[in-house]
Amino acid sequence: MSIDLTRRKFLGRIWKAGAALIAAAGAWTTWDLLQPLATSGFGGKVRTVSPAAVPDTGVVEVLAAKSHLVKIDGELIALSEKCTHLGCRVPFCESSNRFECPCHGSVFNRAGEVLSGPSPRGLDRHPIEVREDGLVYIDTGTKTEGASPGTETIDEPSTGPACAEEDHG
Ligand code: FES
């Protein structure tokens, strides 16, 4: 009889331990599913480079974020490369030190402010954060709209010839 009781107790404990494990696994899975998605592609937070890798002049293009990282007076900003006119991709022109839209000729300074052309505002900006791994993350899921034409917060003259074609007629 005592052997039978011991066996029952043992099996009961095994059963409880198994149930506890299943409950713990379920709780872990639920917690994990509720965590924000660590998206790494466009539409989420895109991991890029260290802040030191962004030069004081020029830009760093981040293809996965469809953006450029720019350092203005020591402050990092992420500029969307989508033109605010009709959405063409706006590359940076090294020779002129300007963003130049190849579609209809909008020109933006290195801070993304519109200098000329039909764009109704400057290039939009995505929030950035520097995480514990020391890298800059661009949040491509949100943006703030670029400034109205006429806003110029930096004084960087053009450094040379434009890259885009002049005739947009
Ligand atoms: S799409 Fe860039 S100027 Fe029209």
- Taking the centre of ligand 1 as the mean of its atom positions, its distance from the CA of residue 118, in whole angstroms, is 7
> Same domain for 74 and 115?
yes
CB of 116 sitting under 6 A from ligand 1:
no
135 lines ligand 1 (CB under 6 A): no
Tens of pLDDT, residue by residue over 78-110, are 999 999 999 999 999 999 999 999 999 999 999
- Domain count within the chain: 2
- Encode pLDDT of 40-86 as tens digits: 789 999 999 999 999 999 999 999 999 999 999 999 999 999 999 99
Ligand 1 within 6 A of CB of 103:
yes
Least confident span in 89-93, 128-132, 162-166: 162-166
Q: Quick one: which atom of ligand 1 is closest to the CA of 87?
A: 1
Using 50, 70 and 90 to split pLDDT, how confident is the model at 37?
A: very low
- Residue 36's pLDDT is 46
Average pLDDT, the chain: 87
- Ligand 1 atom showing the smallest separation from residue 86 Cα: 1
Provide the residue range defining the domain that includes 3. 1-29
Task: Note whether 60 and 105 are same-domain residues.
Answer: yes
Q: Is residue 70 in some structural domain?
A: yes
User: Which of ligand 1's atoms lies nearest the C-alpha of 101?
Assistant: 2
In this predicted structure, what is the pLDDT of residue 8?
75
User: Residue 80: left if φ>0, alpha if ψ -120 to 50, beta else—which one?
Assistant: beta
CATH number at 76 reads: 2.102.10.10
Please indicate, yes or no, if residue 130 is contained in any of the structural domains.
yes
